[in-house]
Amino acid sequence: MRRRYFLKSGATAGVMALAGAKMAAVPGLVHSDAPFAPLKPKRLQPGDTVGLVAPATAVFQDVEQDIARESLEALGLKVKLGPHMRDRHGYLGGEDKARADDINHFFGDSSISAVLPIRGGWGCARLLPYLDFDLIKKNPKVLMGYSDITALHNSIQAKTGLITFHGPLGGGRWDAWSVDYMKRVVFGGEAVTMSNPKSMNDRNSLTQIDNRTRTITPGKARGRIMGGNLTVLTAILGSPYVPDYSNAILFLEDVQENLYRIDRMLTSLKLAGILSKAKGVIFGTCSECGPGNDNYAALTMEEILADHVKSLGVPAWQGAMIGHNTPQWTIPFGLEVEIDATACTVTMLESGVSS
């Protein structure tokens, strides 16, 4: 079940929320107080126990749970299922408070080293009012995922400063390339440089086709890397769960969205003041994003990024291995990084985990 089916009007909802929001330093944008000092979780080690939760769309089949458990065990981890893991509330993995309770429960459990959502979909934004951010801040642990988990990354960063990880989900496709990056960042504590491979799936072509990158504006920039799924981020604009994006490296991705919606959502980020705050921009993949029916004169993705990103004049590039495609990087959300938009790389300036 795809996230977009539940967030078709996410950007509109975000703009409507802005209209009634109390004005902050940037007109139209409500965010947390000044950024917290980075709070790092302990690195994972073989033998650690992971708490598996379903904070968004429900788990409809046993096999989904089995695949997630077996994948994590193959990484040398033990798995504990959230008490409400198999609850159902329509398409959601249980009532909002119950899903939040599972996250709170595992952050408060000293035997658990990481909290890992099994899947995205839709629903994380609904449980944000029920999260115990004081508990999370007092018990920093690894939290990882992408897509709808963007709501958790942003809210936890806004309320605690905890470094979380935009990377594979528990029930995701754990290919060797993605596993390698995740283990280097989350297990090994390396400050890695991320770049797309030059020869993966090139189908013996004379030049790079798959996983191709493109510089939008050349140059280098440093800042805290934050962002996530474009639809989910715009859906929570105007709420207190959006961190301060001042001097951030903004990264974005999406899936199955018509291009006019990408244009609309980037416009929302512009109107909310987030784009103008960015020191640099990385646009990952936009899987299955096209003009849509009856949109024969749609702007192309390159034209949309030129209008909204190139016009900023900050280092920017597109095609990063961030998003719904496999393989994918593991991004330390909220950590200081340097991007080189000419070489199309991201370099962590320090480890994302503590010893």
Residues annotated as part of the active site: 147, 253, 324
Are 157 and 129 in contact by the 8 Å Cβ rule? The answer is no
Query: Both tokens of residue 215?
Result: 């510089």
Print the SS3 string covering the chain: CCHHHHCCCHHHHHHHHHHHCCCCCCCCCCCCCCCCCCECCECCCCCCEEEEECCCECCCCHHHHHHHHHHHHHCCCEEEECCCCCCCECCECCCHHHHHHHHHHHHHCCCCCEEEECCCCCCHHHHHHHCCHHHHHHCCCEEEECHHHHHHHHHHHHHHCECEEECCCCCCCCCHHHHHHHHHHHHCCCCCEECCCCCCCCCCCCCCCCCCCEEEECCEEEEEEEEEEHHHHHHCCCCCCCCCCCCEEEEEEEECCCHHHHHHHHHHHHHCCHHHHCCEEEEEEEECCCCCCCCCCCCCHHHHHHHHCHHHCCCEEECCCCCCCCCCCCEEECCEEEEECCCCEEEECCCCCEC
Are 167 and 146 in contact by the 8 Å Cβ rule? The answer is yes
Task: Provide the β-strand partners of residue 214.
Answer: 318
How far apart (Å, rounded) are the C-alpha atoms in residues 181 and 309?
Answer: 27
| CA 96 to chain CA centroid, nearest Å | 20
